[in-house]
Amino acid sequence: MKSHLPRKEILFIIPLTIFFTIIVFIPFIRIIAGSLLVSETKTLGLQNYVKLITTGAIVRSIKNSFLLSLWSTLIAGTIGFFFAYAISKRRERWRNLLVTINTLPLTISAVVTAYGFLVVFGDSGLVNGFLMYFLNSHISRFFNLLSIGGLIFVYQFFQIPLMTIIVASATSSMDPHIEEAARSVGANKIQIMFKIVIPHLLPAIIAGLSLLFINAFGAYATAFALVEANMNLVTLKIVSQFSDIGYDPGLANALSLLVVGVATGFVVLYRVSLNRIERPAK
Amino acid sequence: MKTDLWKVFSKMLILLIVLFYLFPIFAIALASFTFQWNEYGLPIKLGFSGYKMFWEMGEFRRSLWTSLRIAPLSVAMTIIVVVPATYAVYISRSRLLKSIADVIITIPLCLPALVLAIGLLQSYGSKPFVLTGTIWVVILGHVVLSSPFMYRSVLANLQVIDTKTLVEAAKSLRAGSLKTLVSVVFPNIIPGIVSGSLLSFTTSFGEFQLARMVSGFMNQTFPVKIWEASRRYIRVQFAMSFIAILVSLIFFIIIIISLTRSQLKEEKIVA
């Protein structure tokens, strides 16, 4: 039988293509062009890129962003992995409920989340308040939220659910009989974890970690809400290049391309591993 | 004994993480209804002054309407731009087309909202095409950010229903391509479009990073205005934060209901 499957449908991709050309490609080319334009002299050159590796504050901001992304990714990756695995062992009703609750943090605005953490863990927050009240002192500082460590902590709020979603979608293809078989021949929980569970979920784990890293590296809302531009991060450096005081769009463009480069690297890793996740048979 | 230890550990972990997910909501709620704090920073007197101030100060109230206008418009535009393309990708046999669409839809991941914002700022911030400072630049940016959600949920829906048979039937009755899409395919993928729209709405409503850079003084969105309030009116800041949480919660519940009623899986759409 001759197929009636259409050819003209290819045209339906035109709106998306035009839209992305105007809203994404042209601005992106503008950023590339802008990164080659030196703000001080109004000439073309690579000075903006030189600044990335020679200006102390910029180098530190890149290092800080890497550390923040790396640690928030590793911690959330570990917690999210165990959370997803724990969820997969629950009965179906509980599993569905927990998978649902897990998406809740992703619907809340990052600024609002930051203020929620401030109310509880900030310098004049509830935890500090109770500590000072019970110890009857005014100097207690339980935890400094406004630091890289504090940011790593706040980032867990949207990093853990993201990791959990990706790992949880892969656990459904895991055959519980394999774990049972391993147990019956005397393997303990740790052996099962390292010899069976982790190898099976490895593509999902790598996909999740890559996504988490991109997510942390390109974000600035939480940090901006907590400390405004008073922290040395790549994204906050980009923002401050557009303020009245430190106006230097050329440098901001070069920094942006660095962020895009890092993100693209991890996106490739993410896509490659995502394709290797075993999906349950329909 | 080891298995018992694991059971205790997994139950504790689940409990702790659920508490971790919920505490900011309660913290904001408490802060928004607090009128007075004592010297230790503990709430001692409750009241509604934050909400009252929010309602009385036009600049803050207006920002809520701005966001409630931007979010549906960006949802509508996301549908128009993404749904036909997703259908084209699904139905076409061209591998080239599929990979082009794949690349396009992956771009928002490589291009954080901030980078998109400064690109838009520099491309459409001066004549002849001035977009920055209008609500349209925020809408267009939000369409880019939410397009992957729409793409995935519509694609998941197209895979669940037997689209190819539907289209072949429509074609054998001599329906044109556009007519097939609008009157045959579209009604069958409403669940996918609805869940994609809800995710797009919450993305747009809570988005700060792009809006803060491009929205300009007159059209600041709700999250941007929450940030502004945090520097001047702390009570208004918490009242607005809780309103934002309530809007998110309403949409969260609608998303859950719509997903449980359709056969779509949320993990497929979000991941």
CATH of the domain at A159: 1.10.3720.10
How confident is residue B268, by pLDDT bands cut at 50, 70 and 90? low
Residue B183 has pLDDT above 50, yes or no: yes
Q: Point out the residues of chain A with pLDDT beneath 70.
A: 1-7, 137-142, 278-282
The per-residue pLDDT for range B44-79, each reduced to its tens digit, is 788 888 888 889 888 889 999 999 999 999 999 999
pLDDT of amino acid A221 = 93
Average pLDDT score over residue span B124-139? 84
- Residues of B whose CB is below 8 A from A19: 81, 140, 143
Average pLDDT score over residue span B200-229? 91
Q: What interhelical angle do A26-35 and A249-276 show, nearest 10? A: 130
Residue B207: both structure tokens together: 């988005």
Residue B147 has pLDDT above 50, yes or no: yes
Domain span at residue A94? 59-276
pLDDT of amino acid A1 = 41
Helices (H), chain A: 14-20, 26-35, 47-54, 56-88, 92-107, 110-121, 126-135, 148-171, 176-184, 189-192, 198-217, 221-227, 234-240, 249-276
pLDDT of amino acid B103 = 85
How confident is residue B2, by pLDDT bands cut at 50, 70 and 90? low
- Paired sense of beta strands A37-38 and B34-37, if any: unpaired
Enumerate long-range contacts of A265-272, CB under 8 Å, 24 or more apart: A266/A210, A266/A211, A266/A213, A266/A214, A267/A210, A267/A214, A267/B106, A267/B109, A267/B110, A269/A206, A269/A207, A269/A210, A270/A207, A270/A210, A270/A211, A270/A214, A270/B109, A271/B106
pLDDT of amino acid B70 = 95
CATH superfamily of B58-270: MetI-like (1.10.3720.10)
Least confident of A14-18, B242-246, B252-256: B252-256
Average pLDDT score over residue span B216-233? 89
Local structure of residue B145 (DSSP, 8 states): H
| Nearest chain A residue (CA) to B238 | A115
pLDDT of amino acid A281 = 44
Handedness of CA A248, A249, A250, A252 (dihedral sign): positive
Average pLDDT score over residue span B241-270? 79
Prediction pTM value: 0.90
Interface test with A, best of B4, B16, B30, B40 (most A CBs within 10 A): B40
Strand partners for B43: B37
Whether B91 sits inside 8 A of A15 (CB atoms) is no
pLDDT of amino acid B267 = 52
Instruction: Say whether residue B252 is in contact with chain A using an 8 A CB cutoff.
Output: yes
The per-residue pLDDT for range B74-119, each reduced to its tens digit, is 999 999 999 999 988 888 877 888 888 888 888 888 999 999 999 9
As to burial, measured by CB atoms within 10 angstroms (0-12 exposed, 13-18 middle, 19+ buried), residue A142 is middle
Alpha-carbon gap, residue B148 to B267, rounded angstroms: 13
> Which is nearest to B248 in space by CA: A104, A280, A282, A125?
A104
CA B56 to chain centre: 28
Amino acid code (one letter) for B215: S
Query: What residue ranges do the domains of chain B occupy?
Result: 1-47, 58-270
- Out of B31, B91, B113, the one facing A6 most closely (by C-beta) is B91
Residue B242 has pLDDT above 70, yes or no: yes
Interface test with B, best of A7, A25, A69, A115 (most B CBs within 10 A): A115
Average pLDDT score over residue span B195-223? 91
Instruction: Say whether residue B217 is in contact with chain A using an 8 A CB cutoff.
Output: no
Yes or no: say if A222 and A114 are a contact pair by the CB < 8 Å rule. yes
Whether A256 sits inside 8 A of B115 (CB atoms) is yes
Instruction: Say whether residue A168 is in contact with chain B using an 8 A CB cutoff.
Output: yes
Strand partners for B36: B45
Q: What is the dihedral of CA A108, A114, A119, A122, to 10 degrees?
A: 160
Whether A27 sits inside 8 A of B123 (CB atoms) is yes
ipTM above 0.85, yes or no: yes
The length of chain A in residues reads 282
Report yes or no on A226 lying in a domain: yes
